[in-house]
């Protein structure tokens, strides 16, 4: 190995530490870019599932071999400012027809029956309904539907699957809420 050629023990120890730290940094960068990412919830659009200030770990690896599914909470760049992330729930995938009627969302002529958002929809957004989700896209909503900027707004619209930063996997902070996010 490289350090065996160095005769000075102090210098050899320093080189070993530099190599170990360098390897640790490379592994951390690999994990951050390809496996996991940390992000923070800003705003109240995902309440009660997620709260403003929650720190989340995104699983970036999960969508390398499969597509997002209805019910997944995902993160993606906001189209108007890609440096800002949106965190929303997938409610429809390619080919699904999304409609808003009777203060409720309908998917393929069936009302959404989700336990995390039973509030009537008072703000329909700027999208014309019904909407057929294009191939390779997702229709996403915040769980707190009356304060969320999501796919029913033309500034967001349907979101390309290939722009997903990952699936929300673990709530890291606050520690009192630490655990897997469903």
Give the mean model confidence (pLDDT) for residues 30-43: 73
Instruction: Respond yes or no: is residue 148 known to be catalytic.
Output: no
Ordered DSSP codes for 87-144:
EEEEEEETT-EEEEETTEEEETTEE---TT--S------S--SSEEPPTTEEEEE-SS
pLDDT of residue 89: 93
User: What's the predicted TM-score (pTM) here?
Assistant: 0.77
CA distances from 23 to 20, 32, 67 (A): 5, 14, 32
Instruction: Give residue-wise pLDDT tens across range 53-73.
Output: 898 888 877 777 788 989 899
Query: Where residue 93 falls among pLDDT bands split at 50, 70, 90?
Result: very high
Contact criterion met (CB below 8 Å) for 75 and 90: no
Q: Which of 49, 62, 88, 117 is catalytic?
A: 88
Check whether 9 has a pLDDT greater than 60: yes
> Over 70: is that where the pLDDT of 3 sits?
no
More reliable by pLDDT, 126 or 11: 126
How many whole angstroms separate alpha carbon 5 and alpha carbon 16?
Answer: 12
- In the chain, the domains with their CATH numbers are 2-33 (no CATH), 41-180 (2.10.109.10)
pLDDT tens sequence across 134-161: 999 999 998 888 888 888 888 888 999 9
Of 45, 49, 62, 117, the active-site residue reads 45
Residues 6+ apart with CB under 8 A from 148: 45, 46, 88, 141, 142
Residue 151's CB is within 10 A of a number of other CB atoms, namely: 25
What average pLDDT is seen over the chain? 82
Evaluate whether 168 touches 58 at the Cβ level (below 8 Å). yes
Query: Which ranges of the chain does DSSP label H, i.e. alpha helix?
Result: 9-30
Q: In angstroms, rounded to a whole number, what is the distance separating the alpha carbons of residues 180 and 178?
A: 7
117 is catalytic: no
């Amino acid at each position: 190995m490289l350090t065996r050629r160095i005769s000075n023990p102090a210098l050899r120890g320093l080189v070993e530490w530099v190599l170990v730290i360098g390897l640790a940094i490379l592994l951390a960068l690999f994990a951050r870019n390809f496996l996991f990412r940390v992000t923070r919830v800003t705003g109240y659009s995902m309440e009660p599932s997620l709260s403003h200030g929650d720190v989340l770990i995104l699983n970036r690896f999960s969508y390398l071999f499969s597509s997002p599914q209805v019910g997944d909470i995902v993160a993606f760049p906001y189209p108007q400012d890609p440096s800002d992330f949106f965190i929303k729930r997938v409610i429809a995938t390619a080919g699904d027809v999304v409609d808003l009627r009777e203060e409720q969302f309908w998917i393929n002529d069936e009302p959404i029956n989700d336990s995390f958002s039973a509030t009537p929809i008072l703000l329909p957004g700027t999208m014309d309904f019904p909407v057929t989700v294009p191939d390779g896209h997702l229709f996403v909503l915040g769980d707190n539907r009356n304060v969320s900027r999501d796919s029913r707004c033309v500034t967001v619209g349907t979101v390309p699957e290939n722009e997903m930063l990952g699936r929300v996997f673990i709530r890291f902070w606050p520690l009192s809420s630490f655990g897997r996010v469903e």
